[in-house]
Structure 1
Amino acid sequence: MNQQLTLRFGQYSSAGRKASNQDFHGALVPLQPQLTSKGAAFAIADGISSSEVSHIASQSAVAGFLQDYFCTSETWSVKQSAQRVISAINSWLHAQSRQGQFRYAIDRGYVCTFSTLIIKAASAHLFHVGDGRIHRLSGSHLEQLTQDHRMHVSAEQHYLSRALGIHDHIEIDYQCLPVEAGDVFVLTTDGIHEFINESVMARCIEDCQDDLTLAARAIAEIALNHGSDDNLTIQIVRVEQLPEPSATELYQRLNQLPFPPELRLRAEFDGFTIQRELHHSSRSHLYLAIDNASGDRVVIKTPSHDLRHDEAYIERLLMEEWIARRINNPHVLRAWPMERPRHFLYLTSEYLPGQTLEQWMRDHPTADLTAVRSIVGQIARGLRAFHRLEMLHQDLRPANVMIDEHGTVTLIDFGSTRVAGVAELSDRTQAEPILGTLPYTAPEYFSGDPVGEQADLFSLAVMTYQMLSGHLPYGTQVATARSRAAQARLHYDSVFSHRRDIPLWVDEALKKALQPQPSRRYDAISEFVHDLNQPNPRFIAEHRPPLLERNPLLFWQGLSCLLALLLIWQLVKH
């Protein structure tokens, strides 16, 4: 069972030495599925002291945000959802002030500071306006993550330069940070953080780590004893457990990282030692490296600097790792577990010694049918792992299949994989590009028709045909057939014309899997694999070879017997 996000938190608020409490705070950790789709939210607000109604502002801001954020569409990102809600709250507060008695004295109206922390999957999203603060506890050090929006007139005099309700438009500070299990976040109003040392707060949290509410109360009491004359509000949130990151979260998390530098032989890089370059192209670079912590060999994939501004390319690169983590199958490449923070944008995977199917075909130009069946069966098992999770590989080709020394086949390179239900970050009004390699791409991609599992089946059948014959079933015609009419004119070149030792029923299985129309192919890849290994009676009945081919001796014996009978008949007749 997959683990889910687990948080522990404590909070405390007090008027302190003031007559009333103008601060407000709230937290909402929803049940599934909202915990996965929207995350958990913690919010804190501080009404300005010059206003008699600012407590209404702070309460409205926190309560309104926690209610409205979880009502936003699940197709929106955390950033889009939260910023829209905060902007709406700001407009409402500003309107209340403009429509009431405070329209000429906004600082006496519905104004407050506001900070919120949203933890979704493996990311923390921070939204901040005003002089409240969000901190993160790193070891014994409390790091301030937000910036105070204050304008200092003198050493003693200052005022808020940004707050909710002051203007009809609000500028919101936003950060997205990676989260690890054990991370602690602390939200405070200025009545807390201006009167207590950060190291003291950190020590209180450490001493009361099993009771974060007790820690929050202890910190507030220390601030009060140190002379705080303001309201005191604090929230402490600890991340107990993280789920596997979703595709969107993985994208948001890693897309913040810089591109890696050029890697050289024996270079130390993020806990790895580079051994040699495996592959170099205009799109990416692959390196064999040693994980210094474990001593294991891994493959590091870095993006090309020429594509650093291509958002669609970066998205596909990041999707690769998530896809690899979703699948647990011996015939699918595994992502390497990252047990330390990543400082650059790159991917890591297990190292597979061996050769690509492309290289294997060069070494076996007339491959044995039994060997081909074994390879196809293993590829099919890997593909079924994709299809069970509603994913299409979309770039199945010999260069993306590895074969080790024991004959184990593994699918690699998931940069073109389509995941059902994942919202694309690219413009949906534009036609999707064809991501696969053209000679192995199913015809429906070129005509713009819907694609399904039969598209991966077509690619697998092309590779099977190529392993047996050294040729492509339609040559280069598929990529030029951009309409159904053109696809109907495609002519299948029988594999039997290249190799006479291939059974005709195997050729018929290939022909069915390679039909230009997906509806005329096999419904499942397993059916294709079965027909490659066992003669389909229908194929035998429909295409029974002539007697001359099946049994030449019997044919000539029968023909000789017939001629003899004709000769005898002629002699008797005359």
Structure 2
Amino acid sequence: MRSGLEAAPAPPGAASSRPRTLAVAIGQHSDAGRKSENQDSHGAAVPDGPALALKGVALAVADGISSSPVSRIAAETAVKSFLDQYYATSDTWTVETAGQRVIRSVNAWLHGETRRSGQGEDPDRGHVCTFSAVVLKARTAHLFHVGDARIFRLAGRALEPLTEDHRLTLGGRSYLGRALGMAPEIAIDYRSLPIAEGDVLVLSTDGVHEHLPGRVVADLIAEHADDLELAARSIVEAALEAGSDDNLTVQIVRVDGLPEGDAVDLVEGGAEACPPAPILSPPCEFEGYRVLRQIHASHRSHIYLAADGESGEQVALKVPSVDLRGDAALLRQFMMEEWIARRVDSPHLLKSIAPRRARSHLYVVTEHVEGITLRQWMYDNPAPDLPAVRDIVGQLVKGVRALHRKQMVHGDLRPENVMITPQGLVKVIDFGSVRAAGVLEAAPAEGEQVLGTLQYTAPECLLGEPASWRSDLFAIGVIAYEMLTGRLPYGAQASRVRTRDEARALRYAPAAQDSRAIPPWIDGALRCAVHPDPTRRHEALSEFVADLKIPNPRFARTGFTPLAERDPVRFWQGVSLVLALIVFALLVRMFG
């Protein structure tokens, strides 16, 4: 990855040599101008390989305030920290999440340095600077802005401003109203906009844009289109000639090529990189593994117990099924399973095994989990007690929350995808439907495909809406309900939802309507978790777990429970019978 305060520009014509990846040309220049010290800082990073698809190209500029003797340090720290730490964040995070978290951490450090230096009451002499950054990822530009450095987009012979200065005017004087290091918390302006080949973005400090009209900047960029470094130097020199008495910094980035294809193509090299592994016939040898026996088979994959030929470690070896080989989208999703497993760490999630040898086929290697599926556990325990259900649900939630913290949604939580070891450890074992926000951002999917099992899929997903953490909550709620009752909260109706009216018409069957002694407050917690409207479910997975342990007053009921809640089917049958009798009586009266 190229990065630093003087990053080299991408070569012209890069788009033609790598048409499936993002290609840019960068030019940047900074000068102290008429001041003795340059308190501006700038930098750019153009990574190689998968990082280019998943993290994109980053540019940043910072302007230290002239009243502070340490603002140069603040500006350099802000730029260097952003470029280093942004690329160290999880590949599964969106640009907005990663960028905001990095900038907030930088702000906290700068503010802490000011307080430690004894300048806490006078931020104008502390570690304070303005900051603006652009991240180009896939076909989108992500903008972060604090202060009065600006970001523009070239529009013909003009510059279109994409940011607003954070300045205040008091008593006829202008003051910086927001900057990094000025306060312990920082509000960051963020926006995203689509980009096209040929688009040009310009970042500059006030020493440039307050002294040079936009048309002059646009003309200089057009004049030196083949050498953006020269264009940047020319802009700085023109601003100096125009009377600028401040530090001057300008960055120019031109989009020369945009990525094509699926995110997995960008991350892993495409579904054609390796042929799918063949269906195996144990016992046999395969790519350094001794395949012992088949564990599971479905329309999507075959899973085998195998032993590594070098270490002897037992692993699970997963190969795509024959049905998958004709579906490029599902095959690419299969490729992502191991990638996802490598990026999460929880005792309640299946662990990936790092490859020890080069592979000539497409397959997935994970830890082998001894135990039974939750489905088998439910068969073996048809009437479990509440503590056992709470324990399983609590562990399941811990695993799913580890995914959510990485901005990933599981999308296919069901009893068959949950293992319970002889020691009682609960593990989620299948990542075939996981959606990572950062990957989808790199290559947005055309339409939302339902990959999960319909009986456990939230109604909003069946309607084509993107899966969210609330969708996983719905599935966990259905699992908990089924463990306690042996049935589904909406029967088979939920899996047939195709319109919003059908979703609204779903009627929850109370968990306590049969002979099992399920407290009303438990039933209320389950009803909330599986509500057809995602906005009416719990505010967090932990809230659902808490409601299964401690009675929530809003779910506690006293007195008579209406028949409409105890048995909706019988209630509506009764209503229909009454209406039929009324119609019959009216007909008799009309016709004598």
Q: TM-score, normalised by structure 2?
A: 0.52
Q: Does 1:303 align with 2:320?
A: yes
Distance 1:78 1:321 in 2: 26
SS at match of 1:529: helix
What residue in structure 2 maps to residue 120 of structure 1? 49
What residue in structure 2 maps to residue 463 of structure 1? 479
What residue in structure 1 maps to residue 346 of structure 2? 329
Distance 1:77 1:478 in 2: 50
Deviation digits for residues 520-553 of structure 1 (CA, Å, limit 9, x no counterpart): 100111000000001112222xx12469xxxxxx
Alignment of 1:35-46 (within 5 A): none
What residue in structure 2 maps to residue 568 of structure 1? none
Q: CA deviation at 1:368?
A: 1.2
Distance 2:378 2:488 in 1: 13
Alignment of 1:51-130 (within 5 A): 66-67=11-12, 69=14, 79-81=19-21, 119-121=48-50
Alignment of 1:221-260 (within 5 A): 250-252=267-269, 255-260=272-277
Distance 1:546 1:266 in 2: 63
Distance 1:277 1:266 in 2: 9
Q: Does 1:508 align with 2:524?
A: yes
Which amino acid is the alignment partner of residue 510 of structure 1? Answer: L
Specify whether residues 432 and 425 from structure 1 end up closer, same or farther in structure 2 by C-alpha distance, changes over 3 A only.
farther
Q: CA deviation at 1:506?
A: 0.4
Distance 1:426 1:282 in 2: 26
Q: Does 1:30 align with 2:30?
A: no
Q: Does 1:382 align with 2:399?
A: yes
Q: Contact conserved, 2:413 with 2:456, CA < 8 A, in 1?
A: yes
SS at match of 1:371: helix
Which amino acid is the alignment partner of residue 439 of structure 1? Answer: Q
Q: CA deviation at 1:77?
A: 11
Gaps of 5+ in 2: 26-46, 53-262, 562-592
Alignment of 1:279-290 (within 5 A): 279-290=296-307
Distance 2:21 2:467 in 1: 32
Q: CA deviation at 1:65?
A: 5.7
What residue in structure 2 maps to residue 537 of structure 1? 553
SS at match of 1:326: coil
Distance 1:302 1:278 in 2: 12
Deviation digits for residues 143-185 of structure 1 (CA, Å, limit 9, x no counterpart): xxxxxxxxxxxxxxxxxxxxxxxxxxxxxxxxxxxxxxxxxxx
Q: CA deviation at 1:272?
A: 0.4
Q: Contact conserved, 2:271 with 2:328, CA < 8 A, in 1?
A: no
Distance 1:31 1:350 in 2: 40
Specify whether residues 260 and 312 from structure 1 end up closer, same or farther in structure 2 by C-alpha distance, changes over 3 A only.
same
What residue in structure 1 maps to residue 452 of structure 2? 436
Q: CA deviation at 1:64?
A: 8.5
SS at match of 2:291: strand
Distance 1:266 1:31 in 2: 54
Query: Percent identity over the alignment?
Result: 44
Q: Does 1:392 align with 2:409?
A: yes
What residue in structure 2 maps to residue 522 of structure 1? 538
SS at match of 1:264: coil
Q: CA deviation at 1:421?
A: 2.8
Q: Contact conserved, 1:333 with 1:410, CA < 8 A, in 2?
A: yes
Distance 2:391 2:453 in 1: 24
Q: TM-score, normalised by structure 1?
A: 0.54
Specify whether residues 424 and 302 from structure 1 end up closer, same or farther in structure 2 by C-alpha distance, changes over 3 A only.
farther
SS at match of 1:30: strand
| Aligned residue-pair number | 332
SS at match of 2:341: helix
What residue in structure 1 maps to residue 250 of structure 2? none
Distance 2:449 2:418 in 1: 23
Which amino acid is the alignment partner of residue 413 of structure 2? Answer: L
What residue in structure 2 maps to residue 486 of structure 1? 502
Specify whether residues 463 and 298 from structure 1 end up closer, same or farther in structure 2 by C-alpha distance, changes over 3 A only.
same
What residue in structure 2 maps to residue 113 of structure 1? none
Q: Contact conserved, 2:271 with 2:331, CA < 8 A, in 1?
A: no
Specify whether residues 537 and 77 from structure 1 end up closer, same or farther in structure 2 by C-alpha distance, changes over 3 A only.
farther
The CA RMSD measured in Å over matched residues stands at 3.2
Deviation digits for residues 216-235 of structure 1 (CA, Å, limit 9, x no counterpart): xxxxxxxxxxxxxxxxxxxx
Q: Which runs of 4+ in 1 moved over 6 A?
A: 424-427
Alignment of 1:116-515 (within 5 A): 119-121=48-50, 250-252=267-269, 255-423=272-440, 428-429=445-446, 431-515=447-531
Specify whether residues 418 and 122 from structure 1 end up closer, same or farther in structure 2 by C-alpha distance, changes over 3 A only.
closer
Distance 1:402 1:476 in 2: 25
Q: Contact conserved, 2:414 with 2:479, CA < 8 A, in 1?
A: yes
Specify whether residues 291 and 250 from structure 1 end up closer, same or farther in structure 2 by C-alpha distance, changes over 3 A only.
farther
SS at match of 2:449: coil
Q: Contact conserved, 2:291 with 2:307, CA < 8 A, in 1?
A: yes
SS at match of 1:80: coil
Q: CA deviation at 1:426?
A: 8.5
Distance 1:523 1:546 in 2: 29
Rg (Cα) greater in structure: 1
Specify whether residues 527 and 64 from structure 1 end up closer, same or farther in structure 2 by C-alpha distance, changes over 3 A only.
closer
What residue in structure 1 maps to residue 166 of structure 2? none
Q: Contact conserved, 1:361 with 1:467, CA < 8 A, in 2?
A: yes
